A and B are shown apart, each in its own frame.
Chain A
């Protein structure tokens, strides 16, 4: 009897303890007075752990704002976002992680769930610096609801093992044929000189957009998602996979797979595993965001100090060099009416974002603390400390940023002690010479919003199956037929109608 009493007392104590734990964030001693604006936000966490609070506290002080940030791991961000939308628990500032999330939110935006902020922007000195061309991409029916975080228009390019290429007497891949030869020689001619046939050319992952596929498709001259075709005297929009160039890309990949020049499991390979193949010296070419070359090279050299990487962007195909363009924004921020009740409050929150775009605040969330995380060299920021330290303290806060280097005056630009990183940045700018835009960005199709993603799955599956040799061209055409029947025809029709309507204006 006595022991049960003791047990129940312990349980009660435990419950009380855990309750007080749960309450502790609110009781956190922060210098906050009531005049401070309070902003709750949901942000995308790209690192493994929630960041240390140092920077958050400094930012709060600088902007007279109490921040309440809910960090959601990248993998489950969209699901969590819809869950809070459905349960009516949206924060005051809702970050959408990319253009795809934004386009799936359009019907909610139309229905008036979020504040329209267009008319207010001009009254804020920093927010008014956001670029009109990019803002145009995120307008819904001509109205502006969101702030955006800057992204380079095209970051994709080829990252390859410089030491392997030098050893085999290869230059940078100037053409698709060069690229193919490089992959072939990296596979067959023992570039690591260990006498064993244990290397492959390309390392890729289960991502047809940010992996290698879409970039190589661009090199082949495939349009970006949608392209124009001449159809009895008129110009019509058609999806990319109905173009011959798309099939050429499929054949290219099929050949890579047949000859073993690409990792055989790429349709189920994660990004981490993909990078690991390069880092461990198993693969020699990585096609993706060129900026990644820094971290890839650093990790590669931990394994093999003699290894080095180089980047290259102009790969000539039948139509010269081409690269697909993103819409110039990454994350966008929306302001739910359910959380922000008055215009006055909205203006206060916009004021916070205006301050966030000041060089001091932008440097703080992007670079961290001076002399701890970075130091200024020739007016540029050079990072200090380890990658780990930066991941823990600073990197998560970069997700909060609005604007970027080209829109925030006097924000510190990176100082590179690595030649290759500088080259990567230069090539990203160079990419803007031959961009391929997605013509449907500013067009609308109701059917596409409802089931566009779902019916695309059959196309994705057919792409993989074709590459792996499980279906032939006829099989692929059948998948396209299925797509047309399940709503694709309707989507084509709606996008073309929307295009004509836009032309008429």
Chain B
């Protein structure tokens, strides 16, 4: 498309220039419309970009009473400390492992659930099930984790009592390093899977029913229809959501993990967020924890750019 435009233009240089002045002219002409994006723009500048300047304390030895202007500059000292701490690789790998587990086991669940819901014929039943699967999303992690605690406890926890009745050994879910990750991802699925179906269901509703009719005439089975019509139609939605998901990489849910964390599973459960909280807010090491948070954001940015690049390679749209 763009190639033909350039070919058609006799001189690309002048064309570009006139386009630019055209843009300015258009902006002046439609100033009232452009004026309307001002609040949004201001919001981002004031609440997102200006606060970012606070990142500078990652390079200082920030002392609250000296303020940002007065605190001594230490350059990369905090980053050096971070990379030299034996704990660093532990936290990095915990964070990445949890992220990949999340991507691998949680991400497909809402898609499958949405496909299943989409195939339900009776509208009333479909609505009913939809509502039921949304509900967990509105429960706070505190409640979910407490329920899990009560159920998995070694003393009279219902699951462990069941194991004993069936003649198995009790399993120490809450305090083991092996069970932390499965427990984490199952809780995420339990809470978010239903809510995650909304966008997919909306995308599925937009599929032209004619396609299904045509395929039925050609003798396609239900499974064939899903494979050849539904899935390809929502592919771009899946890709966008995947990129967005990767963008949250390191948002693994501070609250959730902090609640599950205890001294027994710390070696697999400590992630950047919980570490920033303990080091920064509970022990008052502002500069160091800012450096940790900064580093985490850089990893997040790299992963998003990677995912976007990959999706463009694969012929999808990407998010920018």
Contact = CB atoms under 8 A, between A and B. Distances in A.
A113 B263 CA distance: 34
Contact of A113 (B64, B280, B282): B64
Contacts of B284: 82, 85, 104-105, 108
Interface residues of B, number: 28
B67 interface: yes
B175 A86 contact: no
A267 interface: yes
Interface string B88-112: 0000000000000000000000000
A89 B174 CA distance: 39
B262 A267 contact: yes
Given A464-B263, A468-B172, A85 B64 contact: yes
Interface string A445-464: 00000100110010011001
B261 to A, nearest CB: 10
Interface residues of A, number: 36
Lowest 4 A-B CB distances belong to which pairs?
A: A264-B154, A79-B281, A461-B263, A113-B65
Contacts of B283: 104, 453-454
Interface in B153-190: 153-155, 172, 174-175
19 contacts: A78-B281, A79-B282, A82-B281, A82-B284, A88-B65, A104-B283, A108-B64, A206-B263, A267-B264, A268-B174, A268-B264, A453-B283, A454-B283, A460-B263, A461-B266, A464-B264, A468-B264, A470-B264, A486-B85
Interface of A: 78-79, 82-83, 85-88, 104-105, 108, 111-113, 200, 206, 263-265, 267-268, 337-338, 450, 453-454, 457, 460-461, 464-465, 468, 470, 482, 485-486
A265 B150 CA distance: 11
A338 B281 contact: no
B64 A450 contact: no
B267 interface: yes
Nearest to B176: A470
Contacts of A486: 85-86
A83 B155 CA distance: 38
B125 interface: no
Contact of A457 (B86, B154, B263): B263
B215 interface: no
A111 B264 contact: no
A82 B288 CA distance: 14
A105 B154 CA distance: 39
B155 A265 contact: yes
Most buried by A among B64, B153, B262, B280: B64
B264 A265 contact: no
Contacts of B264: 267-268, 461, 464-465, 468, 470
A267 B175 contact: yes
A48 B264 CA distance: 29
B175 A468 contact: yes
B59 interface: no
Contact of A83 (B149, B174, B281): B281
A112 B70 CA distance: 14
Nearest to B57: A86
Given A200-B155, A265-B175, 15 more contacts: A82-B280, A85-B284, A86-B286, A88-B64, A88-B65, A88-B67, A263-B155, A264-B155, A267-B263, A337-B65, A454-B278, A454-B279, A461-B263, A468-B264, A485-B86
Interface in B264-310: 264, 266-267, 277-286
Contact of B64 (A86, A453, A460, A470): A86
A299 to B, nearest CB: 20
Given A108-B64, A468-B172, A78 B266 contact: no
Contacts of B65: 88, 108, 111-113, 337-338
Nearest to B149: A268
Contact of A265 (B86, B174, B266, B281): B174
Contacts of B262: 206, 267-268
Nearest to A482: B86
Contacts of B172: 264, 468
A304 B155 CA distance: 22
A152 B264 CA distance: 32
Contacts of B282: 78-79, 82
B175 A268 contact: yes
Interface of B: 63-65, 67, 85-86, 149, 153-155, 172, 174-175, 262-264, 266-267, 277-286
A246 B49 CA distance: 52
B154 A265 contact: yes
A68 B286 CA distance: 28
Q: Taking each of B155, B262, B266, which has the highest tally of chain A beta carbons within 10 Å of its own beta carbon?
A: B155
Contacts of B278: 454
Nearest to A455: B87
Report which residue of A85, A88, A265, A460 has the largest number of chain B beta carbons within 10 angstroms of its beta carbon.
A265
A162 B96 CA distance: 53
Contact of B153 (A108, A265, A482): A265
B165 to A, nearest CB: 16
Nearest to B262: A268
Max count, chain B CB within 10 A of own CB: residue among A78, A337, A485 = A78
A460 B265 CA distance: 12
A82 B281 CA distance: 6
Nearest to A485: B86
A465 B149 CA distance: 19
Nearest to B279: A454
B3 to A, nearest CB: 47
A337 to B, nearest CB: 8
A34 B285 CA distance: 40
A482 B266 CA distance: 15
A268 B154 CA distance: 11
A211 B267 CA distance: 23
A78 B85 CA distance: 25
A88 B68 CA distance: 11
B308 to A, nearest CB: 35
Contacts of B85: 486
A363 B114 CA distance: 65
Contacts of B154: 264-265
B31 to A, nearest CB: 25
A324 to B, nearest CB: 20
Contacts of A468: 172, 175, 264
Contacts of B285: 450
Nearest to B66: A111
A128 B254 CA distance: 47
Contacts of B149: 268
Nearest to A114: B65
Contacts of A83: 281
